[in-house]
Amino acid sequence: MLVASNTKLPFPKLQVLDVSHNAFIGSLPERYLNNLRGMIDAKENQTDDGENLFLKYIKLRLTLKGLDQLLQRLLNTFTTIDLSSNKFSGTIPPSIANLTSIRYLNLSHNTIGGHIPASLGDMSILESLDLSSNKLDGEIPRELAKLTFLAKLNLSMNNLKGKIPQFGQLSTFENNSYAGNVGLCGFPLTRKCEGGDGKWKPSPLHVEVESDVEVEWIYVFIALGYVVSIGIFSWLLLFWRSFRYKYYEIVDYVLEKIFDFCQCRKKRERRRRTVRNLARRQS
């Protein structure tokens, strides 16, 4: 759990906040986030004094857009928050959108619930947003379509519902950006939305069960009919003498016809061979 600091404005010039893969608990540290002046206006609050020039050349290994990357230097305008793979709970504070200079925001693999704040659409230069593997619910805010620089979006493995907005930047992402949300529908997912309100309405469970039962009964009746037919035929053959004689008579007739056909075919083949041999001798 992040402990409160006595400092009035902690980390005013911080550009990179990465505490991923730890065991922090509790709500997101809204007090800290509201005071990150270096992420509200990176150019205005950048550190230009000579004592901190080394920060421009420090090497950082960060997860950006889902990939581990090694940065050889820290640019003045580079800003990122990575709180992923912890045990943060609560909701996403709408005030996080005040950090308008953030380019990479990763809150994935926590237990954050509630709705996605529509205010995130005001983070105009955001390039990567990862909120996957949480407990977020509600619909995807249409305001996110205003993020024209957004190149990576991951909202998978949550409890989101409704139709995926089909305009702006949100229509350019693939299936894996939205997968694992049972209530979501619309492109790029294969689950179509039904109803006039454009929201997905799951079919009643009993309809699917009824359909499965009907298919199973068809196979049962086919198998039962086959067994009954064999049983009746066997009973007639064993206990009905006239039927048995007639059956054997028909079988003998069919076998005889097959035998005659085979014999005729062999004779025709012999005649053809004889004709071919005579033709060869004459030539």
Task: Note the pLDDT of residue 257.
Answer: 83
State the Rg of the chain over Cα: 38
Give just the sign of the alpha carbon dihedral 44, 46, 48, 49: positive
Task: Note the pLDDT of residue 63.
Answer: 57
> CA dihedral in degrees (38, 43, 49, 50; nearest 10)?
110
Task: Note the pLDDT of residue 64.
Answer: 58
Q: Is the pTM of this model over 0.75?
A: no
Cβ contact 146:100 at 8 Å = no
Task: Note the pLDDT of residue 47.
Answer: 47
Task: Note the pLDDT of residue 43.
Answer: 52
Q: What angle do CA 119, 31, 148 make, to 5 degrees?
A: 25
65 has pLDDT over 70: no
Mean pLDDT of 22-41: 85
- What are the tens digits of pLDDT across the range 142-186? 999 889 889 899 999 999 999 999 888 888 898 999 999 999 998
Q: How confident is the model at residue 208 (pLDDT cuts 50, 70, 90)?
A: very low
Residue type, position 57, single letter? Y
- Answer whether the bond into residue 188 is a cis peptide, omega within 30°: yes
Instruction: Return the structure tokens found at 41.
Output: 């206006």
